[in-house]
Structure 1
């Protein structure tokens, strides 16, 4: 499934792997922007507002010469794990959603609440063709959604220092993002007569000041406070680490530094690119002001390459249909986990859908254990066969749980697959 499915054309792919989905009279399907897929499964009760499930079919590049144990597009199974690029970002959700729908249709299922499935093809490069064109199609149809569920956070088991037991974090927002270019220009010269400060030295000093002065901790000013309140009874101590640091502030990462073309020539231009993931309590404008103040050198020019503010915070209280239905589905299947709202520190296709739904959630029941975070966009990306089956069951149950008109009771039996 992971290695061969998305190399096929839309009809060939569907007929080969999910014949019922692509042949059912209940399912309407169209290809958007040549490569993305949009499905519509109408509900029998027109009074129930539809929802939408999102995933993306594209992946970041992978080269087996980088140190993979197997070819990154082989989907080879080793010791109960499926190895391959996309197995946890994000083809596990693509295949899980479609497999769940295939099983439901085979059993004669017909939903009461209609739902859409959107599979974008360029999420890893911003979703400007896939997700944005799917949104345009839905807007033309006048679609409004009860909620949206996309990729994002996961079930964390042993990943956050001090947290006892697994925690399922459902993303209720995601950080904003900005890329800032810092540059210094000085007259070029010969290395035999160097000035007191070179363009590289000036820029290096500015970068060092940025790294030495991180953005302020904003704990309590964004939704992350609720995350730790929900997890408080499972926490011994939250040690300072990159895992928790990203929840508490806007993060600053210098990702590119360019200057010089010849060993004996003093370069006229030095440039650095800084990538920032913006906390929900800040804006792009506030972050730029902080950078300008911290650099504190008018010789360093600052330019915003691109950026957007953090996403709105979705509801997650006891009356929130989407959050509570996702939570119920999780607890029915994984009663041992603690469920909490969280902030997605990466960015997803769902940010393009804010005009279609007030509530957008970012979660898939992928289990992340120590060492797994390095597999995202890294080598030896993998998912266990057991966890892949759990994803299918999760979406199988979630679709059925969404059929109700009123919020579910906290503890009731799930649907047998």
Structure 2
């Protein structure tokens, strides 16, 4: 007797297995051409990896070639080409600078606040203190308070050289006099420094030029080309009555000018630890432009108990906040790129790799510089809200508010660019814009020519281990007025100081080291012999 469902049960179990089919256990069916396609994909991947490897190798070759292929750009100075022997009496020179600082030659935009007496007294003091200078050189006072000195050269056909400095200083902010270690107009020589307003900016330069001329006269030096020394009395407020008319006078008389040397760069310690203690001598070949934009917001006035949704002060403050929150974009200007080109060969390998390949690492370098307020100005046109006025009383809604914003423009940026940036960022057509003071500096000076090389030789004669680089000056100087006479304008007076002392500019405890000041006198004299003396044996190096 058959058992019911025996065969049928087996079939059912088989059917159930198919119903619960596991694709992983099922036999795989090869598609036609599958292996060939797989091999093709592997080949393409290998070609891609080979291409990437070749590209990376090429990139590495380019990076290393640019990094290792650039040698040092520092000039070599031979012992036979150091010029006349010069001996500076550091103590006596420091005392004389201290005396000059005691004349409070403060310039002011308000004519009613301008005190002419200290300027006249300072000019009289120069004549009394440096008799050799005023007996051998031709002296002329301009606008009563500015000074011209002319040292004729042996060859009157050569373009003359100009050395600039200014006699005026900025005021000391009222209420901060007690913060100074020594009185700001006391000219104290103490703790190895000369203290006071003008020790750095730039009465030190005006006095040091007198000291340098005296040294060279004592050494019987006679310049081949004529030298002019120009001392303006109003540089801190624009130079409109000092340097500007003097520059125009030179243009009108057809004066041929070979170069201009003004204040600007320093010999700095501690900027780059990677230099191993070597000082960095920054010879500024350009300066930033200057533009001020005035903003005015208007609104309904009235009692503060029933204010409008937004007051003129509030709207203006919001616009200013937007300007600070969205600065100009980062960019490298020509002088900064040239500075890196001179600096890179002196740096350790990794830093040299980065600086020599800004096309690849430029974004990283810009971001790093922008993160520090001291270097942010190198890589962008800066924005500074400097003045804000609005309101007359605490319970009155003001009808208008005004502000002034100062921009220091990178080379290549115009005041039109500044106005367009302000309009776009504040995005408020009801805020009125007015362009204020604008200055246009000359084009950057040459770094491959004989003047920069002569300055570098003078620096390395006094400081043999210095790393000389071109630079960009963030501020403005009297030199901008001389752009119609020559493009070869360099800003460097030779003061050496630790980088932290730069904050003394226009600030509290302005000071300069006694030994640094003595070296600056020698350096200025060396610059005169290099640029106006007989050709040196190593001048072509």
- Same fold flag (TM > 0.5): yes
Q: Structure 1 residue 338 and structure 2 residue 451: aligned?
A: no
Alpha-carbon shift at residue 66 of structure 1 (Å): 4.5
Alpha-carbon shift at residue 39 of structure 1 (Å): 0.9
| Residue number in structure 2 paired with 1:322 | 451
Mapped partners of 2:217, 2:534: distance in 1: 21
Q: Structure 1 residue 35 and structure 2 residue 145: aligned?
A: yes
Equivalent position SS for 1:184:
strand
Mapped partners of 1:272, 1:327: distance in 2: 43
Alpha-carbon shift at residue 75 of structure 1 (Å): 1.1
Contact kept, 8 Å, 1:283 with 1:310, in 2: the verdict is no
| Residue number in structure 1 paired with 2:164 | 54
Alpha-carbon shift at residue 336 of structure 1 (Å): 1.6
Mapped partners of 2:482, 2:272: distance in 1: 30
Alignment of 1:241-320 (within 5 A): 241-317=372-448, 320=449
Alpha-carbon shift at residue 311 of structure 1 (Å): 2.9
Mapped partners of 2:163, 2:381: distance in 1: 29
Mapped partners of 2:272, 2:143: distance in 1: 39
Contact kept, 8 Å, 2:330 with 2:380, in 1: the verdict is yes
| Residue number in structure 2 paired with 1:234 | 347
Q: What whole-Å deviation, never above 9, does each CA across 1:335-393 have from its counterpart, x for those lacking one? A: 22211111111000011111111210111211232431221011111111101101110
Q: Structure 1 residue 65 and structure 2 residue 196: aligned?
A: no
| Residue number in structure 2 paired with 1:211 | 324
Contact kept, 8 Å, 2:234 with 2:242, in 1: the verdict is yes
Q: Structure 1 residue 224 and structure 2 residue 336: aligned?
A: yes
Structure 2 vs 1, CA of residues 405 and 78 (structure 1 numbering), >3 Å: closer, same or farther?
Answer: closer
Mapped partners of 1:15, 1:275: distance in 2: 39
Equivalent position SS for 1:356:
coil
Q: What whole-Å deviation, never above 9, does each CA across 1:241-296 have from its counterpart, x for those lacking one? A: 11211011100001112111112211111111101100102111111111111111
Mapped partners of 1:370, 1:101: distance in 2: 28
8-17 or 46-55: which moved more? 8-17
Mapped partners of 1:11, 1:241: distance in 2: 41
More strand by share: 1
Among 489, 503, 506, the residue aligned to 1:374: 503
| Residue number in structure 2 paired with 1:395 | 524
Equivalent position SS for 1:147:
strand
| Residue number in structure 1 paired with 2:300 | 187
Among 248, 266, 280, the residue aligned to 1:154: 266
- Structure 2: runs of 5+ lacking an equivalent: 1-95, 104-117, 352-364
| Residue number in structure 2 paired with 1:172 | 285
Q: What whole-Å deviation, never above 9, does each CA across 1:134-183 have from its counterpart, x for those lacking one? A: 22332343211110000012122224687754211111111001111111
Contact kept, 8 Å, 1:127 with 1:349, in 2: the verdict is yes
Q: Structure 1 residue 88 and structure 2 residue 216: aligned?
A: no
Mapped partners of 1:41, 1:363: distance in 2: 20
Count the aligned residue pairs: 407
Alpha-carbon shift at residue 80 of structure 1 (Å): 0.7
Q: What whole-Å deviation, never above 9, does each CA across 1:176-222 have from its counterpart, x for those lacking one? A: 01111111100102211222212122111111111110101111x43
Rg comparison, structure with higher value:
2
Mapped partners of 2:287, 2:532: distance in 1: 27
Mapped partners of 2:145, 2:487: distance in 1: 27
Structure 2 vs 1, CA of residues 404 and 82 (structure 1 numbering), >3 Å: closer, same or farther?
Answer: closer
Q: Please, what is the CA RMSD of the aligned residues?
A: 2.1
Q: TM-score, normalised by structure 2?
A: 0.71
Alpha-carbon shift at residue 108 of structure 1 (Å): 2.3
Mapped partners of 1:116, 1:83: distance in 2: 29
Q: What whole-Å deviation, never above 9, does each CA across 1:309-331 have from its counterpart, x for those lacking one? A: 343111111xx121111111011
More helix by share: 2
Equivalent position SS for 2:257:
coil
Alpha-carbon shift at residue 107 of structure 1 (Å): 2.7
Alignment of 1:15-34 (within 5 A): 15-24=127-136, 27-34=137-144
Contact kept, 8 Å, 1:154 with 1:170, in 2: the verdict is yes
Alignment of 1:90-129 (within 5 A): 90-129=202-241
296-305 or 58-67: which moved more? 58-67
Q: Structure 1 residue 364 and structure 2 residue 364: aligned?
A: no
358-367 or 129-138: which moved more? 129-138
Q: TM-score, normalised by structure 1?
A: 0.92
Structure 2 vs 1, CA of residues 36 and 383 (structure 1 numbering), >3 Å: closer, same or farther?
Answer: same
Equivalent position SS for 2:532:
coil
Equivalent position SS for 1:181:
strand
Mapped partners of 1:11, 1:2: distance in 2: 14
94-103 or 41-50: which moved more? 41-50
Mapped partners of 1:292, 1:267: distance in 2: 23
Contact kept, 8 Å, 1:284 with 1:309, in 2: the verdict is no
